[in-house]
Structures are given as C-alpha cells and as structure tokens.
Amino acid sequence: MLERGLKWIADFQIAHPTFVLVLCILITFAAFNGAMKIKSEANMEKWMPQDLPVIKTSKLIRSIFGASDMEMVVVRLDPDSTDEYAIYDVRDPEVLKAIDRLELRIRGEDHVYSVMSIVDYIKMYNGGAIPVEIEGVKQIINAHPELKEYIASDYSSTIIMITTDAGADQNVAKRLTRNIEHDISEASFPSGIRADVTGIPSLISTIMDLINENNRKTTALSMIFVLIVLIVSYSSIRWGLKPMVPLAFGVVWMMGLMGYLGIPLNMATSAVTSMMIGMGIAYGVHIVDRYKEERAKGASIDDAVERSVVKVGSAIISTSATTMGGFLALLFGSMPMMQQMGAALFLCIGCSMASAIFLLPSILCLLDRRDEYAS
C-alpha cells in the first residue's frame, strides 16, 4: 500500500513538476511568516516544570512583593587604562559623583524598585552631600564599618545593587539591561574607571543574544560544510546542490511550523536546525544516488524518478517514522525545554522526509528535461 501511494506521488510529480515546485514555493512563503513568529526563550524558570515548589514560590514572591530579581553594576578600576592621571581609588569623589548620576538615571527606568550603593550611605552620613575630598570619604567609611560591605578591601571596586521584577519577562529584561548600559555610558565616569552590568536580567538578555547568534551561525556553517562534502563526493557542484535545495526548503518549513505551534528557540531547540541539516541530507542523497544509478542503467527520466521515489521513498518513510517515534518520547518528559526539543526534532525529521520525497523528484525532472531539450 505504501509503494502504491508513493507511485501515485511519483506519477503526479512526473506529470506536473512545475506545479509541485510552485506549490512548495508558496508553502515556503507561508512558512517564512511562521518563522518570523519564533521567539527566543531565555527565562530559565520556563525551562522547568511550572508546578515545582521553587517555581511556585518564586511566582508568589513576585506577585506579593514585586521585585524578586537583582541586577548589579560593578564600578571598578579599568585594568586596560593607560592614562597616567587615571583614578586609582573608587573612593575618589569624582567616582562617587558619577555613581550618584548613574543611580539617578537607573531609578527612572521602568521595572526598577530600588537602587542602593555606598554613595547613598555616604550622603546620608554627610548631610546629603558627597565630600569634596577623598579624605572625607575615608573618614566616613572608617567611622561606619558596615559600609565596607559595598566596597572591595583594596578599594578597586564597588557595587550598585538594583532590585527589579524584569526577570519575569525576558523582553523586559533585555530592554532594562540595554537601558542600564546606556545609562552607564551617559554617567560620565572619570578616566581609569569602568562600569559593567550583571545579574539575572543581564544573564537572560545575554542568553537570548547567544541563542539567536548560535542558531544563525550553526545553521549557516552546517549548510556550508554539508555542501562541501556533497560537491567533493559527487565531484560536481550541480549534483552537490540538488539534494541541498529541497533540504533548505525543509528547514524553512520546520522553522515555520515551530513559529505557528509556539515552539521557542532555547538552549535545546536552537541546535535543531543544524541537526536537521546533518540528518535530513541523507534522505536527499539516497534519492539522488538511486536516480543517478537508474539513469546510468539507461532508464528514462520518468522511470528513474518513479523507481527512486517508490523504492527509496518507502525506506525513507520507514526510517523517518521510527526516528520520529523515538523523538516523540521526549514529549512525555517533565521538563518543558525537553518537550519542546522533542517536538522540534519530530518536525525536523518530518520536514526533511517531506522535502526529499515531495520536492526533490520534481527538481530532478525539471533540470534533466531542460538538459535533454537543450541538447
């Protein structure tokens, strides 16, 4: 029954290769729209089961008290500074004034509940003003030993602590991190001093950037490496490209389905496109090799396509079904991130199979018929 179905598919492609190609192109355009809907998921809370006590407690704290995340800015001596007049002590009043300016800007940001640093205590113990000379700062710190918690023992760095609820929403976390980085650039720290932001929102923002960058880079490199191997194997750029073209369509289809189904890019699913290229190219290679073999035996284009689809296609469907079944097991795990990876891998194999069986034979028909007509 499977072979009869594949024979019907092959006959349809042989009779209407242009229609099949146009249809696949239209599907790909629709998939592009879905791919644009894919979101990066960098919030580690969402990677775990939402019914865990630790997750429930975190949500409870956030709902009652608002701020439950800590963002920090480390103000320190710049080790790369070559300025001989650079400041060598973060207790310098010029550094404290810059911190004060930075705090004022950060307090105006959305989702910021409080900002605290050593400057707030120094101003409190000095009548609301920062001392003009560094000796005045030293006297205040020596008189109040608890302030040493905010400053390194060698006076090379100090910290600004920011409470926020930005960690609950990764887009808010990313926006807050970028705003704080902009505030740092506008605070005008003196020469020899640098400020760096870190904390949960910054970590989430960095993970988002890494996921997107990693997905783009690994997908491109996978395509290039696989194409090089195919060109070398076939000793032909043209034959090397033939199994790659439908696979590229399949990658877009998979990304589109992920977008429509709400499967995000996270630490697990960001590698699926590269895995698809590595695993899915085999299906196209099998069909192309069988087609070349049949043509070498003297078969016509139509007969070679039909035999390739019917004989190789049945094996491809069988192996794909077993692989997809194995990946479906991940859907029954308790970790949302692993469930999403299982769904993405399921789509990965399905789209690879579909592009090889439904699109590649039409491409072979069109190209070889064109060559025969030209000759």
> What CATH number is given to the structural domain containing 288?
1.20.1640.10
Are 200 and 73 part of one and the same domain?
yes
**Domain assignment of residue 325, yes or no:** yes
**Domain assignment of residue 60, yes or no:** no
Are 134 and 245 part of one and the same domain?
no
| Token pair belonging to 191 | 């020469």
Residue whose pair of structure tokens reads 């991130």 in the numeric block: 337
Average pLDDT (72-99) is 87
What is the domain-level CATH number for residue 140? 3.30.70
Are 132 and 77 part of one and the same domain?
yes
Residue 261 structural domain: 1-48+236-374
What amino acid occupies position 95? V
Which of 148, 181, 204 is the endpoint of a domain?
204
Question: Could you tell me the CA-to-CA distances from 190 to 72, 95, 99, 169, 187 in Å, in that order?
Answer: 20, 7, 11, 34, 9
Question: Per-residue pLDDT tens for 297-331?
Answer: 888 888 898 988 888 988 899 889 998 988 888 88
Are 39 and 133 part of one and the same domain?
no
Are 40 and 72 part of one and the same domain?
no
Q: How far is 38 from 326, CA to CA, in rounded Å?
A: 24
Are 339 and 297 part of one and the same domain?
yes
- The share of the chain scoring above pLDDT 90, in percent, equals 30
Are 167 and 278 part of one and the same domain?
no
Question: Per-residue pLDDT tens for 22-52?
Answer: 999 999 999 999 988 888 777 777 777 777 7
Q: How far is 159 from 88, CA to CA, in rounded Å?
A: 16
pLDDT number for residue 99 = 93
Does residue 276 carry a pLDDT above 90?
A: no
Dihedral-angle region of residue 128 (phi above 0 means left; psi in -120 to 50 means alpha; beta otherwise): left
Are 33 and 93 part of one and the same domain?
no
Question: Per-residue pLDDT tens for 116-169?
Answer: 999 999 999 998 899 999 999 999 998 988 888 889 988 899 999 998 887 767
Lowest mean pLDDT among 53-67, 152-166, 251-265: 53-67
| Token pair belonging to 95 | 């550094």
**Domain assignment of residue 20, yes or no:** yes
Are 31 and 134 part of one and the same domain?
no
- The share of the chain scoring above pLDDT 70, in percent, equals 95
State the total domains in the chain. Answer: 2
Q: Would you say how long the chain is, in residues?
A: 375
Closest CA to 359 of 46, 75, 32, 20: 20
Are 126 and 240 part of one and the same domain?
no
Are 295 and 367 part of one and the same domain?
yes
**Domain assignment of residue 39, yes or no:** yes
Which of 204, 224, 257 is the endpoint of a domain?
204
Cβ neighbours for 270, distance < 8 A, ≥ 6 positions apart: 211, 212, 214, 215, 218
| Token pair belonging to 292 | 């070349």
pLDDT number for residue 375 = 65
Which of 155, 183, 204 is the endpoint of a domain?
204
Are 158 and 265 part of one and the same domain?
no
